[in-house]
Amino acid sequence: MPSEEPIILVPYDPAWPEEFREIANALRAGLGPAALRIDHVGSTSVPGLDAKPVIDVQLSVAALEPAAAYQGPLEALHYRFHTTNTDRTQRFFLGPLGGDATHLHVRETGSFDERLNLLLRDYLRTHPDEANDYARVKWSLSETFRNDRVGYVRAKEPTIWSMLRRAHDWAQGTGWRPGPSDA
C-alpha cells in the first residue's frame, strides 16, 4: 500500500466481529478444505481496542507453495494478490471487491508466524490493560507518522515485541495453545 495513505485510527467498532464472520463464511465456502484455519487477527479482533478500520484475516493453509490451492479461489472471490509483499512467511491479499478494508494473510498452518499472531491476539483479549496501553501508543504514533505507513509500522515494533515477551510468559504460565479456528 502507498506510504502516503494517512494512518486513520477509530474507536473499537462492535460490528467488526460480524464483519469478520461474513468474510470468513465467504472464504470457507470458496476455499473448502484448503482453508485449514480462518482466524480474526490484528487489532480489530480485540474487543475494545482502537484500530485502523481494516479487518485482518489469517488464512492457514497446508503450504504456501504451490499457491494454486488458494490463490485461484481467492482471486475468484475478488481478492487481489499483493505482489510487492516482501514477507516470505506469508502471502498477502487485499480485498475483496476492490476494497482495502480486508487484509488477508495466508500462512502455513503450525508456522511460527501463524501461532505468533494468535498468541498476541489471545493475550490482548485477556489483558485489557495491555490493549489500552497499546491503543495509546498507536494513537500517538498515528499523529507522528500520519502519512508514513512504513514509519508507523516500524515505530510500533518495540511495543509489539515487548508485548510478545509478556505474552510468551503468559503462555508458559497458562499452557496456552491456539483454540479452534474462528471459522
In 10 A of CB 28, how many CB atoms? 15
Q: How far apart are CA 55 and CA 93, in angstroms?
A: 12
- Predicted local confidence at residue 100, as pLDDT: 72
Is a pLDDT exceeding 80 seen at residue 96? no
- Predicted local confidence at residue 181, as pLDDT: 96
Domain coordinates in residue numbering, the chain: 16-174
Phi, psi of 40 (to 5 degrees): -85, 120
- Predicted local confidence at residue 85, as pLDDT: 80
Note the pLDDT tens digit of each residue in 8-17.
999 999 999 9
Q: How far apart are CA 6 and CA 120, in angstroms?
A: 25
Q: How far apart are CA 10 and CA 72, in angstroms?
A: 33
Angle at 77 between CA 76 and CA 78, to 5 degrees: 90
Is a pLDDT exceeding 60 seen at residue 42? yes
Place of cell 507522528: 144
Please state the pTM of the whole predicted model.
0.93
Percent of the chain beyond pLDDT 70? 96
CATH of 16-174, picked from 3.30.930.10, 3.30.460.10, 3.40.50.300, 3.10.560.10, is: 3.30.460.10
80: pLDDT confidence band, cut at 50, 70 and 90? very high
Is a pLDDT exceeding 50 seen at residue 120? yes
Is a pLDDT exceeding 80 seen at residue 105? yes
Q: Which residues have CB under 8 Å from 31's CB, separation 6+?
A: 59, 70, 73, 74
